[in-house]
A and B are shown apart, each in its own frame.
Chain A
């Protein structure tokens, strides 16, 4: 059973439509959500989190619908986006001190562990962090409350190749701990490196949702890299 199940999610804007998106996210696997800019990745993710109201469809977390179980679902998931800054001039320590009170699963030991692992200084403010460190800060919060699934919107965008690689290594380590990672990106090399499953969206429509090996064997021509395949599919 999928840890996150998305069924027929639709959202209509004047100039864009998310068309009946359906896919699942499995426990202990990394799912790469790929598509070009404007394909509908952020709309899908925001709909999955009830930040925007889908016009139709359902999202289940841990076998229960999000509607009616939002608080419980949010306790067990972590969300991060590379682009948004929270409380830019507050110290990390102060933000964490408030946030931890909302989670009965908060683990100070895990917090200290990931703080050290990510090289974060809790006396710094988000304003003083690089883009990569901001993503790590969001991950730090998610991991300290023992999130079982991470939903990450473009976490690797704006990162240099070294930081991107470092982050993908963190995903791989989390996967081994049984955490499900669902991350959107338009950087195909990241998917090639660490994803187990692929959800491919184009012009608001989920074109494919399957294990990466199946996607490659079905869609890639011999000798073609995943990036070449995606470029070709987008052109078609």
Chain B
């Protein structure tokens, strides 16, 4: 497992995938839909898939002494690694906004969604959609990137819109909590986001393995 992840990092990945982890810091931006940061992180991953395809990475990996499903596992491990690194930056940013900068004017007057634990759950949902729609979709052919990525873009922006709109729905205002307000609810939302991410990613991985087994390279 360590070797296949190392192969992804050293040979298959585009440098942009690592650079775009920094979009996690967009959680610090006031007056901006913070979940777009999660979408921008996936642009670097998309670039990596393209880079790997141009390097004939799939056939190269399939010839290594590993099971065919480990080729898929390597790509999922790498994807999750980048997503979780970005999530860490988002979490640090969100905690800063919830503690040190809780009374900072730009955040207090922020017209858009607050960067709190509910927003982190939103980022996890977007990453889960990427893994399901794009990564798993890619393994239908192991070379077509366009259609699964366009489908993911649509799903991602609908999700960003839904999360931004959620706290305007009567009775759901607590989702836009500042600092430690409604911390119980915030933690429940985060736990739900983590469960969605883990469950959807595991299902996407299983489906992608089954698809890849059937492909003629």
Residues in A lying within 8 Å of B, measured CB to CB: 46, 49-53, 70-72, 74-75, 79, 84-88, 90, 94-95, 97-99, 101-103
Contacts and interface: CB of A to CB of B under 8 A. Distances in A.
Contact of B65 (A85, A94, A95, A103): A103
Contacts of A72: 65
B206 interface: no
Given A51-B217, A94-B11, A98-B6, A87 B57 contact: yes
B10 to A, nearest CB: 5
A104 B7 CA distance: 16
B62 to A, nearest CB: 6
Contacts, number: 60
Contact of A87 (B3, B60, B66, B214): B60
A212 B217 CA distance: 32
Query: Helix, strand, loop or mixed for chain B's interface?
Result: helix
Given A87-B11, A98-B6, A52 B217 contact: yes
Given A51-B62, A53-B216, A70-B68, A98 B56 contact: no
A107 to B, nearest CB: 15
29 contacts: A46-B217, A49-B63, A50-B62, A51-B216, A51-B217, A52-B216, A52-B217, A70-B67, A70-B68, A71-B65, A75-B65, A84-B56, A85-B55, A85-B56, A86-B55, A86-B56, A86-B60, A87-B55, A87-B57, A87-B60, A88-B55, A90-B11, A94-B10, A97-B10, A98-B3, A98-B10, A101-B6, A102-B3, A102-B64
